[in-house]
Amino acid sequence: MFKLSPISLYIHIPWCLKKCGYCDFHSYVSPEIIPEKKYIENLLKDFEKDLHLIKNRKINTIFIGGGTPSLLKNKSIKRLIYGIKERYFVSQNAEITIEANPKTIECKRFVHYKNSGINRFSLGVQTFDSDLLKKIERTYDLDECINAIKELKKVSQNINLDLMYGLPDQTLENSLLDLKYAIGYNPSHISWYQLTIEPNTIFYSKKLNIPNDEIIFEMFSKGDKLLRKSGYKKYEISSYAKHDYQCQHNLNYWNFGDYIGIGCGAHGKITQKNGKIIRTFKNKNIKNFLNGNYLNSVNTVSEEDIVFEYFMNTFRLYKPILKKDFRKKTHINEINIKKRIQKAINNGFLINTTDYWNTTKKGKFFLNSLLKIFLK
């Protein structure tokens, strides 16, 4: 038996104006009228059904993701946040994030979202190049991006800008210009990650002029230097933050913390008092979810999967991985993975000390190869 730490809450809003060609998140193209009221009612009921799993564990972070959560009206978000707080204890200084789209109509809602208790905004810019925005099938242009950032700056200092590099037909100069644009607006956080084409996406079956590996590496290395030089500290593979502005919700994921997930297609990870870890998977069918059928399945995570999932998250961070933390959060003795640790060391991916492991520069660059060592 061991003491359980605070927990996070993820809330999934499954609608988008348009399904982007690279997106593999669970979402629907929004109907003319989104059934907001009914969905919020069912989100709160879904939340109530999960409460028995997290007894006496306060919620430290809330993340409203999607889809495009900023499609929801002010009153819907307010009702959602207030409904969560009425039903369970949320820390007074909890980080509450909402993902937003730069589309002009949604910008007008930012101030109302803040008044509902949201204190962190994540804006999915992806690129400031209007031509590239069309190529990756986004629904806004450069002017709307800039307007959205300016509107957010009036509301909050805790702002993340999502940017991607390695886009179709993107040049090295384009990628660095994106970063310079972003840095110029002085957001507290920048998420900068490489476009990856997943098998279950529209882009997977298309011929795209993706930059070659050499150019992508140059984008990464020069962009990384630019961000660090501009006062952003890299604390995770694709995350850069000003002092005290790291995303606490995502840090909980990457530190293999627990979270509950509510909403259509959401999933959660919850450690039980006996040390067992369970995963919850919510119904992906929106009609079924709106009819009250929330839970799709609950699975106990095997020891092999726990090891892989722990390292899949913690290897992303730019800090040592304490062995006592591994034991505490997995309930597994590191002796059980001694051979795999040694293989990672032999490959130059890991440094091993008495108290911790740390990924090398090579380990970070070849992260997938490092993780394969821990895959069953």
Yes or no: is domain 7-252 CATH 3.20.20.70?
Answer: yes
Q: Are 101 and 139 in contact (CB under 8 A)?
A: yes
pLDDT of residue 319: 96
DSSP structure string for 43-59: HHHHHHHHGGGSTT--E
Query: What's the full length of the chain, in residues?
Result: 376
Q: Specify the pLDDT at position 105.
A: 63
CA angle 138, 77, 70 (to 5 degrees): 10
pLDDT at res. 1: 47
Domain with CATH 1.10.10.920 in the chain: 303-376
* Cα angle value 59/64/67 (rounded, 5°): 150
| Predicted local distance difference test score (pLDDT) of residue 207 | 74
* 318-340 CB burial, b ≥16 within 10 A, e <16: eeebebeebeebbebeeeebeeb
Residue found under tokens 């069912």: 42
Cβ-proximal residues to 224 (8 Å cutoff; 6+ apart), any chain: 234
Say which residues have a Cβ less than 8 Å from residue 56's Cβ, sequence separation at least 6: none
Angle at the Cα of 222 from the Cα atoms of 219 and 224, rounded to 5 degrees: 95
Instruction: Please give the CATH topology (third level) of the domain spanning 303-376.
Output: Arc Repressor Mutant, subunit A (1.10.10)
CA-nearest of 146, 97, 142, 132 to 248 is 97
Sign of the dihedral through C-alpha 153, 70, 74, 6: negative
Taking phi over 0 as left and psi of -120 to 50 as alpha, with beta for the rest, 325 belongs to alpha
Residues of the chain with CATH 3.20.20.70: 7-252
DSSP calls for 131-185: HHHHHTT-S--HHHHHHHHHHHHHH-S-EEEEEEES-TT--HHHHHHHHHHHHHT
Whole-number pLDDT of residue 372: 96
Q: What is the mean pLDDT of each run of 10 residues along the chain (376 residues)?
A: 81 83 65 89 98 93 93 94 97 96 78 95 94 87 92 94 95 97 97 83 72 94 97 97 98 97 97 93 96 97 96 97 96 95 97 97 93 92
Q: How far apart are CA 353 and CA 186, in angstroms?
A: 38
DSSP 374: T
With tokens 């109530």, the residue in question is 48
> Tokens 């039980």 sit at which residue?
272
Q: How far apart are CA 300 and CA 351, in angstroms?
A: 31
Numbers of helices and strands, H then E, in the chain = 15, 17
Q: Are 289 and 38 in contact (CB under 8 A)?
A: no
User: Which structure tokens are listed for 232?
Assistant: 């952003």
Find where tokens 């989100």 sit: 43
Q: What is the pLDDT of residue 39?
A: 97
The type of residue at 221 is: S
Determine the pLDDT at residue 201.
Answer: 64
In DSSP notation, 337-371 reads GHHHHHHHHHTTSEEE-SSEEEE-HHHHHTHHHHH
| Token reading at 61 | 């972070």
Residues 6+ positions from 349 with CB-CB distance below 8 Å: 359, 360, 362, 363, 366, 369, 370, 373
**The whole model's pTM is what?**
0.94
Residue 275 structure tokens? 């040390």
- Coil vs helix vs strand at 247: coil
